[in-house]
Structure formats: C-alpha cells, structure tokens
Amino acid sequence: MSSNNTIKKKLTRLLNVIILEVAWIMLWALVITLRYRIHGDEALANPGADRKTFLKPVKGTKGKVVVHWHENVIFFTLLLFKRKPPFTPLASKSKDAEWGVKIVRRLGYEAVRGSSRKGGKEAIVQLMQKLNEGYNILLAVDGPTGPKHVPKPGALKISAACQAEILPTQCFCSNSFALKTWDKMRIPYPFSTVDIVFGPAIQTPENFTIKKDTALIQELAQSIESIKRPGSTRT
C-alpha cells in the first residue's frame, strides 16, 4: 500500500512539473505577441524598464501600494515577463494561487502568501517590511474571492501603517475574453494591445480605522473605476 502511495506521489509531482512547463511556454508564446503600453508609471521610483535595475528597489525610498481589480491579475502577471519593477505580489494560500506563485517566482519575484481569510495578519507584517525596503506591493483589492469590485481594507491598513501612497491602476485590452469565474478574469487574445494606467496617488490617514473610515473604502473603489482608457499613449 505504501509503495502505491509513493508511486502516486511521484506521478503527481511529475504531472505538476509538466503542467508548469506547458503553462510557462504558453504564457511566453502569448507575451511575445502582446503590445504593452504603460501610463503614469513615473509614480514608481523604478518602473522596471531598464534591465540594469530590474527588480531593484531604489535605496532610501518607500514603496507604493499598487492596487487593481482581481479580474486583471493575468494582465499584471504577463507584464512581469516584459518589465521588472520591484514588486512584491500578494497571493492567497489557496491551491488555486499556487500556480501563479510558481510562475512569478520564475520571473524573479517572491510573493507574500495570505488573505483576509487565512494568514492575513502575518502577510500584512511582511508587506509592511517590504514597503519600508523600497518594494512596491501589488494587491488585487477585491480578492481572493470577491465580491467583485468591492475592496477589502487591507491596502488601506498597510498604507496607513507605513504612510505609503496607494496607486490605483486599471487595465484596458484591445481584444480579450472573460473566464466564467467570480471575478470574470480577463485573458488577452494574441496580438492584443494592453494599456495599464496608473491613477493619481492616494494618501491614507495614519489613524485610519475600518469603523471610522468606511467612506475611504468606497473612495478606493471609485479611484480605480474612475481611471479611463487613455486617448494618447506612451510606449
């Protein structure tokens, strides 16, 4: 019986390796066809466009809390194939997030694991440390399970505690489709153009509390929703 279990474990590991390799090749094949245009990334101390400074935080600076909707996770993941800003992504501890964590690790990023349901307090401590080291935190504020476009207060908590600015972002794609998931996650078709737009920075009061400042959570949602598709672009 134990021999059968050992064989099953080895086969499972092998299957996982094969799936990861296939996913990696498919993502690279898709990325090569995509055109990315980034707007407003000068708000980041290191936008990650220069190979010499890939993944490197700027000494003496505090990172930003970069927020987006969960439906745009794929767009940001694919961006990291092309650019290497010093990001620290937040990923839940669920099995669904495991593949994404493995992909970004291959790209040179180490995600912090945790969510409002599991490991949240420990994750916030780690994210705050990364901010103070100059890394930008990348958060899907309505994740990991929704409701869609309803932010969790975590980004505001971290911003308040570290007095780090929040940068709302929005993604626009010339040709994409939506998965049948709670967030209607969007996937770009090959040869699409993807615009990622950074909105105006938000400063959270140092004395922020969820009970007292519920309006700020609504304002955070509005700051993302108010970002419009750019009329003029910068490549």
Stretches in the chain below the pLDDT threshold 70:
1-3, 232-235
Task: State the sign of the Cα–Cα–Cα–Cα dihedral 127, 163, 83, 187.
Answer: positive
At residue 233, the pLDDT reads 45
At residue 235, the pLDDT reads 39
Specify the CATH architecture of the domain 35-225. 3-Layer(aba) Sandwich (3.40)
Q: How confident is the prediction for the chain on average, in pLDDT?
A: 92
Predicted TM-score of the model (pTM) = 0.92
At residue 234, the pLDDT reads 44
At residue 117, the pLDDT reads 75
pLDDT in tens, 165-181: 999 999 999 999 999 99
At residue 2, the pLDDT reads 64
At residue 209, the pLDDT reads 87
At residue 1, the pLDDT reads 53
At residue 94, the pLDDT reads 86
Q: What are the Cα distances from residue 158, in Å, to 18, 76, 165?
A: 37, 21, 10
pLDDT in tens, 51-60: 999 999 999 9
Q: Is the bond preceding 144 in cis, omega lying within 30 degrees of 0? A: yes
